Structure 1
């Protein structure tokens, strides 16, 4: 089955091609039920040579990307665990889209090694695919940081993030089948926290509200100086940032 929520982030974030080259940075949900010949063909058609898996190891299956790896596509694990004590505490009080944006900030701040690993993989030659489970939260914040690094306007980054709303019914249906939980029914969705307790997933996490990404980007810019300062603080060196910009930045217009 082809990847769900799959897209080139340049399409909505920079349709004029002024900031990011098309065909460089892709995003999607996790493969379902696992990568097969159709997924491999999808990746090859886009020259995707590296897949960055942002899921925690407890969310993965050995077969998920086996077919892609057998086809010579590199798969880089950069696990971001959203079930830490601080994050589950924030989740338990989340009620608004703004709360979700704050959650994204905490999520990014809590996983500097994963952020750095993802950016380093994104700087490799060829196109890169970022994904988590839904391709919304962890994928959304990493994609947003990379687009911000290229000076893509906030409203365009937000539009790319919000487009995931169109794919949520299929995403949640796939997740429900895979995990045997009713993730597509708000109020009945549950995750397990670090203390073993079951937590109901708050409504904003079952949506892709534009305000959440706006809040995330605002917080990153006002508290961390934007992606250009936040990523080095996570351990991304200048050479990696330069390599990503060289690969992904749109060429300057001829004069």
Structure 2
């Protein structure tokens, strides 16, 4: 089955082709139910040689990318756990799109190692695919950081993020089938590290443009933008240079 919520952010975030080359960075939801021949064909058709899986280990299954790995496509685990105590406490009080954007900043700050691993994988030769479960939150913030690094305007990054809204019904149906929970009826529940159930707040079940706008503002005001935040996460200068050399449009 082809990947859901699959796209090249360059198409919408940089339609004039001034900052990011098309065909180097892709994003999607996780495979539903697992990668198969159609998925592998989709990846190969885009020259995707590396898949970065941002899901926590509790969300993954060895079969998810087995077909891709058998086809020679590298799968890099860069797990970001959104259910740590500090994040779930903030989730309890999340009510607005702005709250979601603040939560994205906390999520990125909570997982510097995963952020660094994802960026290093993105700098490898060939195209790369970033994904989490829905391809919205963790995928969205990592994609945003990479686009910001290349100088893509914030409003374009926001527009690419918000495009996920069109795919949410299909995503929730796939997650509901996989986890046997009524995500598409907005009755989903997650548990924190102590096993306590947490109702998923409404903003997390949407892709509000304001959330990404707030996240980018926080990255800029708190960390000086992706240019400064990524090295603080442990991304080597050489890796940033390698990603730019691969993805940035060279102007003469």
| Structure 2 length-normalised TM | 0.99
Q: Structure 1 residue runs of 4+, over 2 Å off?
A: none
The CA distance in 1 between the partners of 2:62 and 2:240, in whole Å, is 31
Question: Unpaired runs of 5+ in structure 1?
Answer: none
Any idea what SS the aligned residue of 1:184 has? Answer: helix
Identify the residue that residue 220 of structure 2 maps to in structure 1.
221
Corresponding position of 2:201:
202
Q: CA deviation at 1:195?
A: 1.1
Give matches, 1:35-114, under 5 Å: 35-114=35-114
Q: Quick one: distance in 2 between partners of 1:224 and 1:194?
A: 28
User: Could you tell me which residue of structure 2 aligns to residue 152 of structure 1?
Assistant: 152
TM-superposed CA distance for 1:189, in Å, is: 1.2
Deviation at 1:97, TM superposition (A): 0.1
Report the alpha carbon displacement of residue 200 of structure 1 after superposing the two structures with TM: 0.4
- CA–CA separation in structure 1 for the residues paired with 2:9 and 2:130: 10
Q: Aligned to 1:159, what secondary structure does the other structure show?
A: helix
Instruction: Note the alpha carbon deviations across 1:7-52, whole angstroms, 9 max, x for none.
Output: 0010000010000000000000000100000000000000000000
Partner of 1:248: 247
Query: What's the secondary structure of 1:194's corresponding residue?
Result: coil
Distance 2:153 2:212 in 1: 12
Distance (whole Å) between structure 2 residues aligned to residue 82 and residue 100 of structure 1 = 12
CA distance in structure 1 between the aligned counterparts of 2:184 and 2:60, rounded to whole angstroms: 20
Aligned to 2:30: 30
Alignment: residue pair count? 252
- 1:176 is matched with 176
How large is the RMSD of aligned CA atoms in angstroms? 0.5
Aligned residue for 2:185, secondary structure, equals coil
Give the Cα separation in 2 of the matches to 1:240 and 1:106.
23
Gaps of 5+ in 2: none
The C-alpha deviation readout for 1:28-78, integer Å capped at 9, x for no partner, is: 000010000000000000000000000001000110000000000000000
The alpha-carbon deviation at position 185 of structure 1 amounts to 1.5
1:211 aligns with 2:210: yes
Question: In structure 2, what is the Cα distance between the partners aligned to 1:191 and 1:22?
Answer: 36
Give 1:194 shift.
1.0
1:137 is matched with which residue?
137
Other-structure match for 1:123: 123
- State the alpha-carbon separation in 2 of the partners of residues 179 and 134 from structure 1: 13
